[in-house]
């Protein structure tokens, strides 16, 4: 298993006035685990975020990662991409377990994988990220309660670990604020970086990603533990206790 990596923990903290809660902003390559009421926030383009929650303990965490580009035809279980993705997932899972979560109580929600990077070769990066996340969770036996994947719009994610609620806002290009540029720089770092430490690998099954519904306007998808995303017209964000 991967060791917990404190250097990957998000450290950008603020107080969200809309929700009346402490908030953590999670950047590419980071993750965070919360054991008290707060909101975990991240903006996704091609990257994927997995929201994991122990439904018994009422605690959870979120990661934000992208697979490095691979020159191989398939991202097999021992490829560099699979090793990096496995590391990103295991660090989050192991931190949850260290704080008292149990694997059998974990449930997931998965977001991201949009096509925001320029160039034909990079348009499949989001789909590869989404496929990896779903295959990893299936291999680990972690149920996926909701997903909002692919498409061409960046997403801003608000995850409330205490309740399992997730708010998803689709962003127009101007609202992305240079997201594609940040992700391109992150991708270059991944190409140069090597993942240290042991990584638990697996043989990924071939479950396909569900294609998203078309979206031409900004929207908010509200995801609760008992059902999948429900789309609503764009509006000021609701309070956390709605």
The span from the CA of 88 to the CA of 50, in Å, is 10
Q: Return d(Cα 180, Cα 45) in angstroms, integer.
A: 7
Q: How far apart are CA 98 and CA 135, in angstroms?
A: 24
Q: Measuring CA to CA, which residue among 111, 108, 110, 94 is closest to residue 6?
A: 94
To the query of whether residue 47 is one of the catalytic residues in this protein, the response is yes
Among the options 5, 10, 34, 47, which is catalytic? 47
Centroid of chain to Cα 51: 6
Task: For helices 125-140 and 80-98, give the axis angle rounded to 10 degrees.
Answer: 50
Residue of 99, 10, 109, 13 lying closest to 52 (CA atoms): 109
Catalytic residues: 47
């Amino acid at each position: 298993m991967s060791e917990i990596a404190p250097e990957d923990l998000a450290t950008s903290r603020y107080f969200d006035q809309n929700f009346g809660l402490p908030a953590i902003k999670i950047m590419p390559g980071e993750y965070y685990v919360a054991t008290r009421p707060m909101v975990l926030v991240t903006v996704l383009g091609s990257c994927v975020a997995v929201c994991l929650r122990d439904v018994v303990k009422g605690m959870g965490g979120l990661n934000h990662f992208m697979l490095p580009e691979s020159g191989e035809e398939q991202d097999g279980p021992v490829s560099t991409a699979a090793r990096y993705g496995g590391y990103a997932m295991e660090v989050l899972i192991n931190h949850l377990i260290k704080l008292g979560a149990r694997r059998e109580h974990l449930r997931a929600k998965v977001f991201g994988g949009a096509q925001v990077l320029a160039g034909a070769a990079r348009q499949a990066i989001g789909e590869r990220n989404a496929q990896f996340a779903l295959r990893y969770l299936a291999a680990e036996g972690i149920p996926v309660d909701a997903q909002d994947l692919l498409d061409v719009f960046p997403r801003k994610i608000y995850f409330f670990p205490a309740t399992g609620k997730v708010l998803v806002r689709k962003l127009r290009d101007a609202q992305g604020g240079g997201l594609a540029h940040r992700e391109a720089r992150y991708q270059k770092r991944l190409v140069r970086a090597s993942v240290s430490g042991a990584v638990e690998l697996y043989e990924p099954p071939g479950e396909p990603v569900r294609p998203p519904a078309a979206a031409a306007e900004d929207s908010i998808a509200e995801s609760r533990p008992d059902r999948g995303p429900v789309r609503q017209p764009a509006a000021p964000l609701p309070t956390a206790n709605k």
